[in-house]
Structure 1
Amino acid sequence: MLCSLCLYGVRSQAQDRLRGAVSSLSSETSAIHVLNTSRHKATITDANGRFEIPASEGDSVVFSGVQFYRETIVVTADMLTNPDFTVYLREKVTELDEVVLRNLTGNLTTDMRRIKTDSVTSFSLGLPNAHKVPLPKTERKLLEATTGGGFIPLNPVINAITGRTKRLKKYVRLERENKAMEEIRQRVGDHFFDEMGIPEVHISDFLFYCQARPVFGYLKDNPDIMAVTDSLRIYAEKYLEDQEADAD
């Protein structure tokens, strides 16, 4: 009886997780979102397309990737005990309109030069918000991670559970602060730092020194260049003192 109970416990524990792999005909299958909507658990596939997620028989598991159609499965007992369980995803295919080229010479260079194409831009197409400056790459990723369609958008849920949204918010903040540092450097000029005794190779280090202190918010938002330079002089003295102390 004791052996039976032990075997039952091991079997129950083994069946509490779904292990398998994601496969497709040609696309990369790493970093595919795997979400157990019954348990509100999520993970992503590794470099080989494999995954492991808490699951029980009857749970609904969703597989989602930008380049794939969403796939939903209902977990069965066989899936829980099959180490080679595989989910096959269908790739999204974008079809282009047919283009017919006539009067070709057979010389690729000549034919490419003779083909006339129209310059297509957001302005020429009359698209709304064409005048707006595109968001930086990191901010576009954050927007994609926190929005989604459907009755219950899965994208924000998955990214919140896996911690991707939190990481992207951190990257966006750092990117904005680094941009602000560069703008401060351009406003005062490198010669200003040289006059304060900070060589060019240490300017970035000094600005990082300021970035880690409350004065940074004052520096990046202050339109008064004289006030900015006065504050930089004060912190330059502290920075150089700290540098000397570290050297000792």
Structure 2
Amino acid sequence: MAKIRCFLFLLIGTHVQGAFSQTVEIHGKVESSLDVENINVINKAAHEFTITDSDGNFKIRVRLNDTLQFSSIQHKPYSVIVDDNLIANKFLVVPLEEKVNQLDEVVVGKILTGNLLSDIKNIEGDPPINFFDVGIPGYTGKPATQSERRLNEATTGSGIVPLNPIINAITGRTKMLKQHIKLEEKEELLHSIKTRLSKDFLMSNPLDADLVNDFFYFCADDENFIKYCKNQTDFKILIFLRMKYKQYLENLNGNKD
């Protein structure tokens, strides 16, 4: 009889443990008055992540008592603990609230609306003169960086035979300036990725604090960094970072050996 009871306890314990460790894939939908695409969905316990599509839909694997965290720049953070109902239904609706940064209202002088033409009319005194007022053509695009201005100077010139482009090509200055522009482009892209994605990425792909910057520069050194990360969705960038994360850990372990 004692042996039978012991067997039953072991059987029940094994069944309960299996239920707790069972991994299932759930579907979900994020609802918000704002854009619901590219919202980060992180399973903190399983170290898995995904992002929502253009309609706010997502899929992710979970276990009982896992914590799902939802975050984006525009929304307040939101967490869900996986319970029996979620495991059974395999579907989750997530309502997100807009993140509003409110400042104390301070009014000095005239109230500005944000419409430049309207606000100029409300300002006392003469409006400023710009190059359009006096008939001078002006550039209204993105300001050039210092390296871009130097490259332009190095590759243009006056006269029947412009000497600047020829001399700079021979001496290698043009090539050097082009390399500077590529480095600036990488630095700007890397800073943007770290600002937007590093917090959520490192939650599911942990690194020691003193290795974080080294890891991101390791990513930027990849010859395909610009190709896979510039003008790409956050989802594609996260896939690239995950691939580099595995390579980075392999390099660390190889150096230790």
TM-score bucket (shorter structure): 0.3 to 0.5
Larger relative contact order (CA 8 Å, sep ≥ 6):
2
TM-score by length of 2: 0.45
